[in-house]
A and B are shown apart, each in its own frame.
Chain A
Amino acid sequence: MPFIPHTKEDIAEMLASIGADSIDTLFDEIPADLKSGQLKEVPPGLSEMEITRLMMERANQDGFYQNFIGAGAYEHHIPAAVWQITTRGEFYSSYTPYQAEASQGTLQLLYEYQTMMASLTGMDVSNASMYDGATALAEAVLMAVRSHRTSRKILIPQTVHPIYRKVVRAIVSNQKIDIIELPFNKETGRILPEALEEFSNEDIAAFVIPQPNFFGVLEQVDELTDWVHSKNALAIGVVNPTTLALLTPPGEWGSKGADIAVGEGQPLGIPLSSGGPYFGFMACKNNLIRQIPGRIIGRTNDLDGKRGFVLTLQAREQHIRRSKATSNICTNQGLMVTAATIYMALLGPEGLRRVAAHSHANTINLVQQLEKISGVDKGFSAPFFHEAVLRLSKPVDGILEKLKKKGILAGLNLQEYYPDMENTLLVCATETKTAADIKNYVEQLEQALN
């Protein structure tokens, strides 16, 4: 019996102890008319060898591609040690660290994670993670509304990831929160400052500022943050953690710094894996600590005065507060954060800086070479980080299909998310791409266009 260790003798002894004559008797409180018959869609069990064969076949069917898609999920080199340690049984199969004395490994690691994320984002504190970047943004919106006394209005520019905007709407839809989307400048690819003026006399709770934005473009975060603060609203930064090795962290934007920073943690050592599991990060300034959702680890002492770590501020959470909790969230993405912490430790400040710089330089190199091809133009004029928009002379889908046949996933067709952006492609070349990979992409795209 797969994963059931009981022998015949065990079963007999156990039933005798209970005073039942069969295992079936143990289900005698379930009304007979509810009991189900055979399962029809579940096939017979496989051995480990058989399932291995099946999964290998399916994996081989999917194969490998040279990936130039970014759009919220980025391919970076993951050092071998990251997942070898992360999948140690003591991390992989442990429970939520409610019993602190038996969970110091996980708790200390999370405290280290909080330290690294707070510093990377330039914030005072970080929680122990959220489900993913999109839900972290939704939770930041809820947090802003909770802390703002008068307004339930949130401004989100359309340069924020289009799927994030959908997720935010879905999650906050039943809480009477007004989500207002702002247009962007079609030349620069940046938030349109004039669009903000419309709200100069309106009470708003928060403004979401992406850096870099969905198009890879660098937003003028200092001016935008100061504008939000002049309106007594909160600035929520949506950032990419790799880029923070180089870019001004949200906590230092403008004269006061953003109030909340969120984003997708996947670039920090998490494989692309069809979209998950990833993790979202969330960090904030001290004055918002009691509004932050999710798990938080704090330092304390044991009876002997030795340093230790525990889950803290639990009075905000659902298992204590029930219907009055800050959020219904009950987990973090523990294992993903384990990987991210080990990743950040292995890379250190200089390693992460190099990953960021190479990703930036590779994307610049790719764009510069592509611009020389007839039929390719740069989409936007503002500086970009490690992702860029290209305008093609032909419909994108056909081009993507041709390059796919050459083993290249050439980017994302933006028209799917921005209906008026015809023939535009979003591309990304991280540090994983060599000069030869980039050259090959350029040649293949040139051929496909002609």
Chain B
Amino acid sequence: MLIFEHARSGRRNYSQAPTTTASIDGIPDNFLRKKQPLLPEVSEMDTVRHYTRLSQKNFSIDTEFYPLGSCTMKYNPRACNSLAMLPQFLSRHPLAPENTGQGFLACMYDLQEILKDVTGMAGISLAPMAGAQGELIGVMMIRAYHESRGDFARTEIIVPDAAHGTNPATAVMCGFKVVEIATDKEGNVNLDALKAAVGPQTAGLMLTNPSTLGVFEENVTEMSRVVHQAGGLLYYDGANLNAVLGKVKPGDMGFDVIHINLHKTFSTPHGGGGPGSAPVGVAKRLLPFLPVPFVTLENGKYRWVNEKEQPQSIGRLSAHMGNAGVLLRAYVYVRLLGKDGMHRIAEFATLNANYLMAELRKVGFEIAYPTRRASHEFIVTLKDIKDKTGITAMNLAKRLLDKGFHAPTTYFPILVPECLLIEPAETESKQTLDAFITAMREILAEIKEQPDLVKNAPHTMPLKKLDDVKAARELDLCWKPNS
């Protein structure tokens, strides 16, 4: 049932809204709406029951294992939520004076300093509200840097073919042409292709390291040299920072700009698809271009730095200060982890991934890059299975749902056919990984013995396989009464 189907005309909640009516005489009649909006007329209990039941139709980290590659689905500590939701933090208006928010600003300042240290960058802005916005801001800074030097010839951004789709989409939003370069057999960026691609037209290279193929880019130092020598800058997509946190700093790898997905590495909730948060970090030469606002400490007082003090800033990318509440959650998380907790993340994420890779190989799955170490994730390819049985990566993914596991990332990266990108975050125990391995073994047997069972999965979800084609062809995006 939809919430609208629970509704009855005239039913409402009396305690949640003002108990009396108020005069609207100050609004001339011609400004008033004629028909009331289609909001449901339901009781408080109807509402609570409806949305509680809906929540139970979701998979979530709190209920299932999510081996989602490149998404870093780790446990979201409850303390992060409750401390970010202290009433004083919640009630603070974004335009309230700085001296009424010193406690909040102290948290933001500390977080900036910690992120600087962890990434090896010279400056951090907490403003970006999602990974894709962090990328946008990063690439805008690259553009602003070249233009500030009077160099308008740099019109191209180089992106490896394994990159997230947001990378090329972002480069285009910033007015750049995208040049894709190939990956070699070992999963590294093809150095010769990179050397051939760079030139006076190169604005920069966007790189994820470890890459979305789940391997560390071994030639990163040489790549950095090639791009810098051509006058370009290096952008670090922090999607996989969890794999190397506290082990290698992007700044030490030669990156000029980075973004960090707090909703991945720093455990802020995914919330069913947002809000994210993606602070950007810059090397010294890009400091003047950082987006505003960010927090500074002066004579014991915290305050915002705005456009006036940062005249070359690429500007403001959100109405206020990004997703402040998400930043508070990340701050609580880093303080709980502390110095030693940071590198343990990378260590145990890597241990989990390599263990799972080793065991799945023993079970009989084909590993896409068998000669490499897994970073915090790795790829299984079902190409051979599909050729022989017709069972696809998506079929297997859906069958995993039946067994109580969220599916790994499927069909990404695009260059590996029938792939599953598997990332078991450090918060998962060996028992959970073993149960997943058992489920994968069972499915492999089912593919041989009962292929239809796998092909028609899922069977135990609230619904069976959903028809994406019908959804796109017969667009129905809003409920209508009597529909």
Contact = CB atoms under 8 A, between A and B. Distances in A.
Given A301-B470, A364-B26, 13 more contacts: A5-B428, A14-B430, A62-B103, A85-B52, A122-B33, A132-B319, A134-B318, A167-B316, A274-B324, A300-B468, A309-B466, A325-B169, A349-B36
Given A43-B339, A83-B85, A109 B51 contact: yes
Interface in A260-298: 264, 271-279, 289, 295-298
B314 interface: yes
B86 to A, nearest CB: 4
Contacts of B249: 36
B22 to A, nearest CB: 4
A334 B274 contact: yes
B471 A298 contact: yes
A328 B13 CA distance: 40
B297 interface: no
Interface stretch (B216-224, B226-234, B385-393): B216-224
Contact of A345 (B3, B97, B164, B244): B3
B173 interface: yes
Contacts of A321: 165, 169
Interface in B418-438: 426-430
B310 to A, nearest CB: 13
A44 B342 CA distance: 10
Interface in A67-97: 67, 69, 71-73, 75, 77, 79, 81, 83, 85, 87-97
A306 B461 CA distance: 12
Interface stretch (B135-143, B193-201, B280-288, B444-452): B135-143
Given A277-B323, A319-B412, A45 B335 contact: yes
Contact of B220 (A14, A34, A48, A105): A34
B342 A27 contact: no
Contact of B244 (A30, A81, A313): A30
B152 interface: no
A116 interface: yes
B320 interface: yes
Contact-residue size bin, chain A (C-beta under 8 Å from the other chain): 35 or more
A330 B134 CA distance: 12
B37 A116 contact: yes
B47 A346 contact: yes
Contacts of A289: 475, 477
A323 B54 contact: no
A336 B26 contact: no
Given A18-B355, A313-B472, A409 B397 contact: no
Given A89-B61, A108-B57, A360-B24, A97 B272 contact: yes
A231 to B, nearest CB: 23
B321 interface: yes
Interface string B6-35: 000001110011101111101110111110
B94 interface: yes
Contacts of A18: 351, 354-355, 358
A276 B62 contact: no
B75 interface: yes
Interface in B145-162: none
Given A274-B321, A312-B475, A13 B55 contact: no
B273 A332 contact: yes
A277 B129 contact: yes
11 contacts: A26-B354, A57-B103, A73-B94, A79-B44, A102-B461, A103-B272, A246-B24, A275-B94, A319-B165, A354-B21, A355-B17
